[in-house]
Structure 1
Amino acid sequence: MVTFATHRSLAEELERAFSLQSLVDKSLKKAGPTPSQKTILSGALYHLSCEHASSMLLLIEAKKVGSALALARPAYDALLRGAWVSYCASADQIEQISDKKADFPGNKDISAGVEKAAPAELRSTLSVMHRAVPVAIRHGLTHGGVEQLMHRFDGTTIRANFSSDTVIGFVRLATLVMLGSAIGIARQPGGDLDPIDVLHLFLSSFTQDDTEARAMIDRLADEC
């Protein structure tokens, strides 16, 4: 399970995440990519990914942690597919998918294409998410695997029993999803967002004690 060292409570982490969400929402509203089948389909996927991340935060706040964690996979998948449409898919593939005449390729093929063609900051964001919550864990969380079931007994009663570190880790994962979505839209042709501004926006939500997170974003900025 994904965890991060932190000196803040879950309530403080959520407050920070909701503040970042508000900033990302405002940034996305400024984006004006040139309309095309590619930007419409990829933009919809980025937006869906960001919506899943926002829902994760709301569910965690409502103490529906299992349902929140179940959204980690669809949030990641939507972001990954958005990157694939932006940088890998052919015009024919985009048309076929948009017209419901074909499905998306499998994630293994999509990931291979994104790794070769997507910009560094988007690749890095996806990579951090994938390493933090590998595909088998994402699958189990979504489809009622042991990753969910073994956290539903506290020794006395059956109830959700995720550690606070795990929950905080997924709050931060949701912020990474929002970061990736904002970067994806910022990279759209004709958009008004600068990817570096998006990275700085994300970085500004972390305080000085988040050395790991700050180092990660600094590396992303250096690769742009």
Structure 2
Amino acid sequence: MSLGDVFLEINKYSNKIDKALALKDSRPSIKDSLVVALVSLSRQHYLSIFLLTKESTYYSSAFALIRPLIDAVYRAIWLMKVATDNQVEKINNNEKQFMTTQELSKKIDRKFHELKENEGEEQFDIFHNRYNKNSQVLHGLTHGGMEQIHKQLKDGIIYPAFTEEDLVGLLSEATVNYVLLLIIYGEFNKNKELDTVVREFSDLKLETVFKK
């Protein structure tokens, strides 16, 4: 699938997702409010990555947003699946900070292990393995590391040297994380319309489809 086709697919489904998502802070608990805020933040980062790659050549800024997107996604999932009421209250009151994303990934995996063990399913460290594999690159992309510096020159001219394959990979990684968040949020919020649309999007098998 070409980069142009990827843009068309994301644009098509992001509109459907936004309609089904209909974000609003109408639920009473602190946890609900924090989760809605993090889903909103994730949405903004995701759509900013999409727009920066589609409508401009500010590719470095698009790549810099992938780690903040993943941070927000993991925090939201941790809140929905793992956090106790006491932890939520302390975070909301600034008495406690979120754990590192690496630590959050371990806690999330542990929770899913418990759920899958109860259902007799095979267990995988999906969140931790995925984050651990990419953490150094994510850090460099966000904080001006060599991953960014080496991409600022093209044929001796100052110009973003990201390839189409780089951009497709970025959109794939961003989409997989955003979709994963929305699937879990749809279940958490009992939003059947959102769940249906997002699962239709995820059925595209993004890891395979988003290739040059």
TM range (shorter): 0.7 to 0.9
| Deviation, structure 1 residue 129 | 5.6
Task: Name the CA shift for 1:126/1:19 in 2 (closer, same or farther; >3 Å).
Answer: farther
Per-residue Cα deviation, 1:66-114 (whole angstroms, up to 9, x for no partner) = 0001000000000001111112112111111111222111223211110
Structure-1 separation of matches of 2:10 and 2:31: 30
Distance in 2, matches of 1:77 and 1:97, equals: 15
Query: Is 2:74 the partner of 1:80?
Result: yes
Q: Which residue number corresponds to residue 164 of structure 1?
A: 164
Tell me which residue corresponds to 1:44: 37
Structure-2 change in CA distance of 1:19 and 1:174 (3 Å): farther
| Alignment partners' CA distance in 2, 1:116 and 1:213 | 30
Counterpart for residue 200 of structure 2: 201
Q: Which amino acid aligns with 1:113?
A: K
Superposition RMSD on alpha carbons, in Å? Answer: 3.0
Could you tell me whether the CA contact under 8 Å between 1:82 and 1:184 is conserved in 2? Answer: no
C-alpha distance in 2 between matches for 1:211 and 1:68 = 19
Measured at CA, do residues 177 and 108 of structure 1 come closer, stay the same or move farther in structure 2, by a change above 3 Å? closer
Unaligned runs of 5+ in 1: 1-6, 215-224
What amino acid is the match of 1:166?
D
2:131 matched to 1:130? yes
Deviations 1:164-205 (A, max 9, x none): 10111112222223312311321225x22378624532145x
Query: Which residue identity lines up with residue 212 of structure 1 in the other structure?
Result: T
Distance 1:194 1:125, change over 3 A: farther
- Superposed CA deviations along residues 132-154 of structure 1, whole A, max 9, x for unmatched, are x7011111000000110111111
Alpha-carbon distance in structure 1 between the residues aligned to 2:207 and 2:144: 34
In the other structure, the counterpart of 2:101 is 107
CA distance, structure 2, for counterparts of residue 15 and residue 128 of structure 1: 30
Structure 2 match to 1:14: 7
User: How far apart, in 2, do the equivalents of 1:138 and 1:50 lie?
Assistant: 18
TM-score for the superposition, normalised by structure 1? 0.77
Task: Give the whole-Å Cα distance in 1 for the aligned partners of 2:168 and 2:84.
Answer: 39
Question: How far does residue 36 in structure 1 lie from its aligned partner after superposition?
Answer: 1.4
1: distance between equivalents of 2:173 and 2:28?
30
Number of positions where the alignment pairs a residue of Structure 1 with one of Structure 2: 200
Kindly indicate whether the alpha-carbon contact (under 8 Å) linking 2:31 and 2:79 is maintained by their aligned counterparts in 1.
yes
Provide the rounded CA distance (Å) in 2 between the counterparts of 1:98 and 1:90.
Answer: 12
- Residue identity matched to 1:163: T
> Whole-Å Cα distance in 2 between the matches of residues 161 and 186 of structure 1?
38
Which of residues 180, 184, 208 is equivalent to 1:212? 208
